[in-house]
Amino acid sequence: MLPPTTDIRSEWDESTIEQQNFIRSLSMFVGAWLREHGEVIEDVPEKHDVLLQGLQYMVMCSTVDDKEIFKICLEYWNSLAASLYKA
| pLDDT at position 25 | 96
Q: Average pLDDT of 53-73?
A: 95
In a domain, 79, yes or no: yes
Residues 6+ apart with CB under 8 A from 13: 65
In a domain, 6, yes or no: no
In a domain, 3, yes or no: no
Write out pLDDT tens, residues 64-79.
999 999 999 999 999 9
Share of the chain above pLDDT 70, in %: 100
Domain range for 66 is 16-86
In a domain, 32, yes or no: yes
In a domain, 45, yes or no: yes
| pLDDT at position 66 | 95
Instruction: Kindly compute the dihedral angle of the four CA atoms of residues 12, 13, 17, 18, in this order, to the nearest 10 degrees.
Output: -30
In a domain, 1, yes or no: no
Q: Average pLDDT of 25-53?
A: 93
Q: Average pLDDT of 50-59?
A: 94
In a domain, 2, yes or no: no
What domain count does the chain have?
1
| Alpha-carbon distances, residue 24 vs 6, 45, 53, 69, 85 (angstroms) | 15, 30, 17, 6, 28
In a domain, 50, yes or no: yes
